[in-house]
Amino acid sequence: MGRPSINRQPNRLLEHWLSRSGLSNVQLARAVTARAAQRGEKGINPDESRPRRWLAGETPREPVPGLITDVLSERLGLALTREDLGFPGTRRSVPLDSPDLPWQSTSTIDAIAHLTRSEIMLPHTRHSPEAAYVHSADRLLGPLQQWATAGPSELTEHPAEHTVSGRVGKKEVQGIRAITEMFRDADNRHGGALSRRAVIAQMSDATAILSSCSYTEATGRELFAAVADLGSVAGWMTFDAGLHKNAQHLFITALHAAAEGGDKAVGAHILQCMARQMSHLAHYEDALDLVALAQYGGRRQISPATRSMLSSLEARFQAILGHLDESERAAGQAEEIFSLVNPADEPVHMSFFDAAELAATLGVAHQIAAKKSKGPHRARRAEKSLALLGTALSLRPEHRVRSKAFDHLGLARTHLVVGEVDGAHQETETALGLFGTISSRRVADRLIELHDEAAEFSGVAAAADLRSRIESTVTPPGTTGPRP
Q: Which of 333, 395, 341 is nearest to 362 (CA)?
A: 333
Q: Which residues contact 110 (CB under 8 A, 6 or more apart)?
A: 93, 94
Q: Which of 210, 209, 178, 184 is nearest to 196 (CA)?
A: 184
Kind plus residue range of the DSSP H or E element containing 19: helix 12-21
Coil, strand, or helix at residue 141?
Answer: helix
Coil, strand, or helix at residue 476?
Answer: coil
Q: Is the pLDDT of residue 355 over 70?
A: yes
pLDDT band, residue 425 (cuts 50/70/90): very high
Q: Is the pLDDT of residue 340 over 80?
A: yes
What pLDDT does residue 475 have?
A: 57
What pLDDT does residue 472 have?
A: 87
- Over residues 32-49, mean pLDDT: 85
First-to-final CA distance of the chain: 75
Q: Which amino acid is at 335?
A: E
What pLDDT does residue 116 have?
A: 65
Mean pLDDT across the chain, nearest whole number? 85
Q: Is the pLDDT of residue 295 over 90?
A: yes
- Over residues 23-41, mean pLDDT: 87
Tens digit of pLDDT for each residue in 264-288?
A: 999 999 999 999 999 999 899 999 9
Q: Is the pLDDT of residue 309 over 50?
A: yes
What string of DSSP letters covers 391-420?
HHHHH--TT-HHHHHHHHHHHHHHHHHTT-
Alpha helices in 22-132 (DSSP H): 25-38, 49-56, 64-76, 105-121
Alpha helices in 321-354 (DSSP H): 324-338
DSSP label of 129: G
**What is the spatial distance between Cα 203 and Cα 409, in angstroms, rounded to a whole number?**
33
- Over residues 56-62, mean pLDDT: 86
Give the bridge partners for 214, in sequence order: 167
- Over residues 161-170, mean pLDDT: 64
Q: Is the pLDDT of residue 64 over 70?
A: yes
CB of 294 within 8 A of CB of 310?
yes
Helix-strand-coil percent breakdown of the chain, rounded to 5?
70, 0, 30
pLDDT band, residue 127 (cuts 50/70/90): very low
pLDDT band, residue 91 (cuts 50/70/90): very low
Q: Is the pLDDT of residue 168 over 70?
A: yes
Q: Is the pLDDT of residue 409 over 90?
A: yes
What pLDDT does residue 118 have?
A: 55
Q: Is the pLDDT of residue 123 over 70?
A: no
- Over residues 295-302, mean pLDDT: 93
Tens digit of pLDDT for each residue in 436-484?
A: 999 888 998 899 899 989 999 989 999 999 999 998 888 553 344 444 3
- Over residues 329-341, mean pLDDT: 98
**What is the spatial distance between Cα 119 and Cα 123, in angstroms, rounded to a whole number?**
9
Q: Is the pLDDT of residue 152 over 90?
A: no
Q: Is the pLDDT of residue 155 over 90?
A: no
Tens digit of pLDDT for each residue in 187-233?
A: 988 888 778 888 988 888 888 888 878 888 899 999 999 999 999 99
Tens digit of pLDDT for each residue in 222-267?
A: 999 999 999 999 999 999 988 898 899 999 999 999 999 999 999 9
pLDDT band, residue 81 (cuts 50/70/90): confident
Coil, strand, or helix at residue 481?
Answer: coil
What pLDDT does residue 161 have?
A: 47
Q: Is the pLDDT of residue 129 over 70?
A: no
- Over residues 305-319, mean pLDDT: 98
Q: In terms of pTM, does the model score above 0.85?
A: no
What pLDDT does residue 402 have?
A: 94
What pLDDT does residue 115 have?
A: 65
CB of 208 within 8 A of CB of 184?
no
